[in-house]
Amino acid sequence: MIEILNIIISLLILLLVSIFPLSVSSYRKKIILNKPLFDKMSLNILFNTYGLFIISFTNISYSIYFFLLILFSILINFTNFIQFTNLISIKIIYKNYDFRDIVFFILINLIIFFNITGDPTLTWDGLENWYFKAQNFFYNYSFFDLNNIRGIDYYPHLGGFLWGFFWQNSYLQYEYFGRFIYIFIFLLSIFSITDLFKNKEFIKPLATVLIIILCYDDFLFRGYQDMLLFSFLIFISKYFYQYLENKKKTDLIICFLYLSLLPWIKNEGYLLVLVFTFSLLIVLKDISKKLLIFILIILSWILIILKHYLFYKYLSFNPTHGANLDIIFNLDIFLNFLVSIFKGFFIAMFKYKIWLFILFSFFMLIKDNKFKKNEIIFFNFLKINLLLYFLAIIFIYYDFIDDYRGLYWWIHTTLDRLLYSISGFFIITIILIVNLKKIKF
């Protein structure tokens, strides 16, 4: 009974974090944007993640920060609620927000929370590496203490900090309560991207359930960080698409704010940032606000350099996981490598079947020529990203041929999770083809 109570309290805490500083009832106030509910929640998660990211480098008490965060969320939302208690305002709020979505979102969170609670076991990388980063922050230590813990010290710390922060500030302080934030962000990203469906009566709830089923992997919620990359890439693709549609600078800035956090979650974030920014440079001639985009690209690269510096000075620096980038080409070896890597692709895509829907959507979009100009730019951008990811994966894994663990080990243990993370960026293709074909039921 006490664990059930703590699950409910944990969900309430995450909801309070996700509705501050932008209150759900502040739609009349032009603070930043007039956004749907799940967009506001995703923005609040972004802002609060940056706040937590900053304090991870300080000696500030995480408990005090948590108390103030929850207190201000309650006060601001309660104040806004009092302001909109008249009947007309309630009708406006009801019109702007689909409360069926909210109830559905809460229900699925609770289902997965109970599932993790029933079996909170950590799996390999979670137990051997990420758990100790979370434990470091659970005891209120900072980034600069990570060199004193067990595990690989060149792994980034942001996911571990989120885990440790909510673990420390849970009612029972069981470690798995800290992992609920991963589930919450995972579901929030899917509910947010499916808001783009034009048919919201039937297609949206059906697609939301389907995407959750296809993308939920119980194994990854046992200490791994890949679902955070997956979720943030969903937000990145959505906000960039909205920027091309609406030409609002804020959407572009939000997109890059999410992008800049990726290297602090996993080292694979370097690849994700570089592929995104190089793809953007290729299509830059067709996009407005070129100077702003160029500045944001430069800033994202500067933040990568800053991360390099901090890890080189205080921990250790090994973004290639031991690869020496000393590639010697041999045709026979390369052909055998291609057989192995394509077999790995095949297995990974059938393990994470969302890729089958993504590739089918790509095929259907290529066949169709009914795009608007902005949609053409966005789809070309997606195609360039997909090609660069493919080439980068080929290059990276070929460099592991001479690794002492062997190519099979790298493909077997990492490729599926890398493809899972990347799939988040391309889920939007499913929405594009459904909207384009005007599929109805």
Query: pLDDT tens across 226-276, in order?
Result: 999 999 999 999 999 999 999 899 999 999 999 999 999 999 999 999 999
- Each residue of 27-78: pLDDT tens digit? 444 444 467 889 999 999 999 999 999 999 999 999 999 999 999 999 998 8
Establish whether the linkage from the previous residue to 120 is cis, with ω within 30° of 0.
no
| pLDDT at residue number 139 | 96
Q: Do the Cβ atoms of 179 and 223 come closer than 8 Å?
A: yes
Domain boundaries, the chain: 1-224, 263-441
Q: What is the pLDDT of residue 89?
A: 52
Rounded to whole angstroms, how far apart are CA atoms 52 and 181?
13
Contact yes or no for 431/361 (Cβ under 8 A): no
pLDDT (tens digit, 9 = 90+) per residue, 364-381? 999 876 778 888 999 999
Burial label for 113, CB within 10 Å (0-12, 13-18, 19+), is buried
> Most distant CA pair in the chain: distance in Å?
75
pTM of the model: 0.94
Distance from C-alpha of 415 to C-alpha of 421, rounded to nearest angstrom = 10
Closest CA to 233 of 199, 204, 192: 192
C-alpha angle with apex 17: 16 to 19, nearest 5 degrees?
A: 65
Measured at the CA of 97, the angle between CA 22 and CA 89, to 5 degrees, comes to 80
The band of 386, judged by pLDDT with boundaries at 50, 70 and 90, is: very high
Give me the pLDDT at residue 167, please: 97
Q: Mention every residue, 6+ apart, whose C-beta is less than 8 A from residue 29.
A: none
pLDDT of amino acid 201:
75
Spatial distance between the Cα atoms of 5 and 27, rounded to a whole number of angstroms:
32
CA gap 267, 323 in Å, rounded: 13
Mean per-residue pLDDT over the chain, rounded: 90
3-state secondary structure (DSSP) of residue 187:
helix
324 has pLDDT over 70: no
Phi, psi (deg, nearest 5) at residue 41: -65, -40
Residue 32's pLDDT is 44
For residue 227, what are the contacts with CB-CB under 8 A and spacing of at least 6?
182, 185, 186, 217, 220, 221
10 Å CB burial of residue 163 (0-12, 13-18, 19+) is buried
**Three-class secondary structure of residue 202 per DSSP:** coil
171-209 confidence digits (pLDDT tens): 899 999 999 999 999 999 999 999 999 877 788 999 999
Residues 338-354: tens digit of each pLDDT: 999 999 999 999 999 99
Q: What is d(CA 152, CA 132) in angstroms, rounded to the nearest whole number?
A: 10
* Contact indicator for 138, 164 with CB cutoff of 8 Å: yes
